[in-house]
Amino acid sequence: MTPADREARLAAILRRGVDVLIVGGGINGAGLFRDLCLQGITCLLVDKGDWCSGTSAAPSRLIHGGIKYLETGDLRLVSESTLERNRLLRNAPHLVRPLPTVLPVFSWTRGTGAALRTLLGSRTAPRSRGMLPVALGLWLYDAYGARERIMPRHRLWSRSKALGDMPALSPRIVGAGLYWDAWVTSPERLVLELVQDGLAADASSAAVSYTELAERQGGTVRLRREAGTVMAVRPRVVVNAAGPWIDHVNERLDVPGRLIGGTRGSHVILDHPELWRQLAGRMVYFEADDGRICLAFPYLGRVLAGSTDIPDDNPDQARASEQEVAYILQSLRHLFPHLDFAREQVRHVYAGVRPLPHSDAATPGLISRDHSAPVAEPEGDRPFPVVSLVGGKWTTFRGFAEEVADLVLHRLGRPRRASTREAAIGGGRDWPEDPVAWSADLAAETGLAPDRVAELLGRYGTTARCVALRYAGDRDNQRLDSDASWSLGEIERILREEDVVHLEDVVLRRTTLAITGRLGHADLERIAALAGRVLGWDEERRRREVEGTRRRLETVHGMRLDPADRAA
């Protein structure tokens, strides 16, 4: 959709009204938007920032069944998570991929009693995990993940097998478990594709980024756009999908109560070739000295490692502290004592506040990751209900959206007319049975190298065909210096077609240039110059965008953008 198309849709909604206003364009809001649009419900989706620019942009990037939730007794969540993981592997194969996972074990029986007590309801059990509870947990995990299974069952490794496959592991291990989960290459693009799918499904719906809920007056909700203009909408239902900002949004809607009590999770991206080689395409999911579960896995040529779990109720100031970075590095040293880990290897850091339900639990890791959708019924001069999407996790967004969509449909007196259970997402539609042959055919048609087409297929799914046909040739030959896998032709298409408002939208969310730590200042300037031409920025706007994006990358994400510091 062009900017003019988006504005035309918005103007039409403001004239005729809207069935559902969804506040928050993260994974839960976008998932619900797509589901409701498929049912023919007129929706307006807004976010105060870009799509997937808050907590949804700061996950571990795992699509997992929640093996650790066995310990908290959240068996329903494990059952749902494993099923939704399997469905995502089918519905978004371009972005969600299998991930073999190694779980090192340091004792035989330690933690068996604690695990059983926790499973029975205790919330104070220690977190140590021996081979016996790990074996039981992996068996249960496979049992819950049997529905629509597409990945292998778990295996148990002896000490010699584990050290033979991963020699840098601590020799203190007694063995390891190997099981399969999944990861998402770009959560930001998956959210964008959900929004695009919703817009394609229902021509009466609209989605507007950089638009904040300002206030409610009676049945009218006023929304303030970044330029300062205010628009008014009268919804029949409001869904608060603002994640850790839910309580703030409800306050503006005059809905009392506290629903959220979040914790901060921080991650680092490492330039560590030896660790990357040792992992060999696998994640290691391990226990830190304090019992906290941490992880490390190969991510786009780097290693993603994390995470922390610290109480935090200020999502606007979520930052990965130096203490958290040090904690993650020290945890890696504990597991890989023969490898060197230094602060200089960190290329990017990020943090987000998990929108967990308010809880008095002493241990943050024991707070349930399950979801709920409490409803504030119409009250006083507020004629519409407010549904708040509390908790939840990335993997289960589709099931959560289906649950809330059914609730909304019931209130609107409308039937469900389409299921999302087998609905492909974005570029996952018409996924080829033989991706290699598909890439070879498109390469012959466009003149691009088969490897390049395969790269585009992995990045955009089957919409790579449109990218290759429109932006092949000279525009694809012009590559960025700091990451040659990205071309200026791709960037131009993103600017024209993917609802970009700011420069940081491109480098942080439409591409992986920033998170891999490969972006250099010269390429930031090149992208800004191209954005200026495509989006009509004058020189002052271009300069502000470069300065603002660079400041964010350096202060929030710990990057260094001087040309001499670019990573190849």
Q: Which CATH number covers residue 149?
A: 3.30.9.10
With respect to residue 42, please indicate whether it lies within any of the assigned structural domains.
yes
Average pLDDT score over residue span 31-38: 98
- pTM exceeds 0.85 for this model: yes
Residues 331 and 390 in one domain: no
Maximum distance among all Cα pairs of the chain, rounded to whole angstroms: 69
pLDDT at 565: 46
- Residues 6+ away with beta carbon under 8 Å from 313: 244, 260, 261, 262, 353
- Do 176 and 157 contact (CB within 8 A), yes or no? yes
With respect to residue 467, please indicate whether it lies within any of the assigned structural domains.
no
pLDDT over 70 (residue 140): yes
pLDDT digits (tens, 9 = 90+) for 365-415: 556 668 899 999 999 999 999 999 998 889 999 999 999 999 999 999 999
- Do 249 and 30 contact (CB within 8 A), yes or no? no
pLDDT over 70 (residue 73): yes
pLDDT, the chain, mean: 92
**Range with lowest mean pLDDT among 102-106, 111-115, 296-300:** 111-115
- Evaluate the omega torsion of the peptide bond into residue 170 and state whether it is cis, within 30 degrees of 0: no
Number of domains in the chain: 3
pLDDT at 291: 79
Task: Find the domain containing 14 and state its range.
Answer: 3-55+188-260+369-412
Q: What is the CA radius of gyration of the chain?
A: 23
Residues 99 and 15 in one domain: no
Distance of CA 449 to the CA centre of its chain: 30
Residues 266 and 164 in one domain: yes
With respect to residue 77, please indicate whether it lies within any of the assigned structural domains.
no
pLDDT at 270: 98
Residues 156 and 116 in one domain: yes
Residues 268 and 256 in one domain: no
**Could you write out the DSSP letters of every residue in 12-69?**
HHHHH-EEEEEE--SHHHHHHHHHHHHTT--EEEE-SSSTT-SGGGSS--EE---GGG
pLDDT at 72: 76
Residues 275 and 384 in one domain: no
- Show the DSSP H helices in 447-501 as ranges: 450-460, 464-471, 474-477, 488-497
With respect to residue 430, please indicate whether it lies within any of the assigned structural domains.
no
pLDDT over 90 (residue 537): yes
Q: How many CB atoms lie within 10 A of CB 288?
A: 17
Residues 199 and 116 in one domain: no
Torsion of the alpha carbons at 309, 313, 319 and 325, rounded to the nearest 10: -20
Q: Measure the CA–CA gap between 300 and 104, rounded to whole angstroms.
A: 24
- Of 336, 358, 380, which residue is a domain's last? 358
Q: How confident is the model at residue 312 (pLDDT cuts 50, 70, 90)?
A: confident
Average pLDDT score over residue span 127-133: 79
Exposed / middle / buried, residue 447 (Cβ in 10 Å: 0-12, 13-18, 19+): exposed
**Range with lowest mean pLDDT among 285-299, 414-428, 445-459:** 285-299
Q: What are phi and psi of 379, to 5 degrees?
A: -150, 140
pLDDT at 114: 64
**Could you write out the DSSP letters of every residue in 314-377?**
-GGG----HHHHHHHHHHHHHH-TTS---GGGEEEEEEEEE-PBP---SSGGGS---EE--EE-
Residues 284 and 171 in one domain: yes
pLDDT at 50: 98
With respect to residue 449, please indicate whether it lies within any of the assigned structural domains.
no
pLDDT over 60 (residue 564): no
With respect to residue 394, please indicate whether it lies within any of the assigned structural domains.
yes
Average pLDDT score over residue span 200-212: 96
- What are the tokens at 138? 């992996």
pLDDT at 116: 65
With respect to residue 75, please indicate whether it lies within any of the assigned structural domains.
no
pLDDT digits (tens, 9 = 90+) for 478-504: 999 999 999 999 999 999 999 999 999
- What are the tokens at 398? 């589709």
| Three-point CA angle 253, 254, 256, nearest 5° | 120
Residues 553 and 534 in one domain: yes
Average pLDDT score over residue span 502-518: 97
pLDDT at 535: 96
Q: How many CB atoms lie within 10 A of CB 243?
A: 26
pLDDT digits (tens, 9 = 90+) for 452-483: 999 999 999 999 999 999 888 888 899 999 99
- Strands (DSSP E) along 106-174, which ranges? 155-158
- Of 333, 358, 383, which residue is a domain's last? 358
- Do 430 and 393 contact (CB within 8 A), yes or no? no
Higher pLDDT, 393 or 303: 303
Torsion of the alpha carbons at 487, 493, 499 and 501, rounded to the nearest 10: 50
Higher pLDDT, 368 or 130: 130
| CATH code for the domain of 7 | 3.50.50.60
Q: Measure the CA–CA gap between 287 and 332, rounded to whole angstroms.
A: 10
With respect to residue 464, please indicate whether it lies within any of the assigned structural domains.
no
Q: Which residues pair with 33 in a beta bridge?
A: none
pLDDT at 472: 80
Residues 389 and 345 in one domain: no
Q: How many CB atoms lie within 10 A of CB 221?
A: 25
- Do 158 and 136 contact (CB within 8 A), yes or no? no
- Do 400 and 31 contact (CB within 8 A), yes or no? yes
- Of 339, 358, 377, which residue is a domain's last? 358
Residues 253 and 285 in one domain: no
pLDDT over 90 (residue 364): no
Q: What percent of the chain has pLDDT over 90?
A: 80
Average pLDDT score over residue span 252-279: 94
Exposed / middle / buried, residue 434 (Cβ in 10 Å: 0-12, 13-18, 19+): exposed
pLDDT at 108: 85
pLDDT digits (tens, 9 = 90+) for 423-440: 999 999 999 999 999 999
Q: Side-chain half-sphere of 399: how many Cα atoms within 13 Å? A: 21
Residues 285 and 239 in one domain: no
